[in-house]
């Protein structure tokens, strides 16, 4: 599958569309999503600003360079890592979080999957947003 239109599924709360060839995925109208898995696709961006209720997110093995999770549930579990360029080379993922999310114990909020170097967390950087409204926020960059 290379595309999917979810715009009419406004009550959708569970979405698993991993292991496809999706290059774009718009979940902006799916504001009730609580479980979202889009791993192993070809996504270059993922906008989650309209999905505050996500409790489980799995988006590893895509082509993401940035991921903003600062507006989703502070108790969410997020699986990231194993991001690559379109040529298959490993690339760094910058994850934007809020201060509460960053304060979680390591490994309890964001989990890593890195097939290039298992258990290597150095391909993920955090930027903490002090204001998650996305309007003039201050950033603090934390490399992990």
Segment 97-130, tens digit of pLDDT: 887 777 765 545 666 555 544 444 446 777 777 6
The pTM assigned to this predicted structure is 0.80
Segment 12-70, tens digit of pLDDT: 999 999 999 999 999 999 999 999 999 999 999 999 999 999 999 999 899 999 999 98
Of the two residues 90 and 19, the one the predictor is more confident about is: 19
Distance CA 132, CA 9 (A): 26
pLDDT at residue 144, as a whole number = 38
- What string of DSSP letters covers 50-112? T-TT-SEEE--SS--SEEE-TTS-TT-EEEE---B-TTS-B--EEEEEEHHHHTSPTTSSEEE
């Amino acid at each position: 599958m290379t595309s999917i239109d979810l715009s009419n599924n406004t009550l959708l709360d569970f979405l698993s569309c991993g292991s496809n060839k999706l290059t774009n995925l718009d979940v902006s109208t799916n504001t009730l999503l609580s479980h979202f898995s889009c791993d192993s696709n070809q996504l270059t961006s993922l906008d989650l600003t309209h999905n505050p209720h996500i409790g489980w997110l799995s988006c590893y093995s895509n082509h993401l360079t940035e991921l903003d999770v600062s507006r989703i549930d502070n108790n969410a579990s997020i699986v990231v890592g194993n991001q690559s360029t379109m040529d298959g080379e490993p690339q760094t993922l910058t994850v934007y979080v809020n201060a509460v999310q960053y304060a979680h114990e390591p490994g309890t909020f964001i989990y890593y999957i890195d097939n290039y170097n298992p258990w290597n967390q150095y391909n993920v950087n955090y930027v903490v947003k002090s204001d998650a409204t996305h309007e003039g926020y201050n950033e603090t960059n934390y490399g992990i």
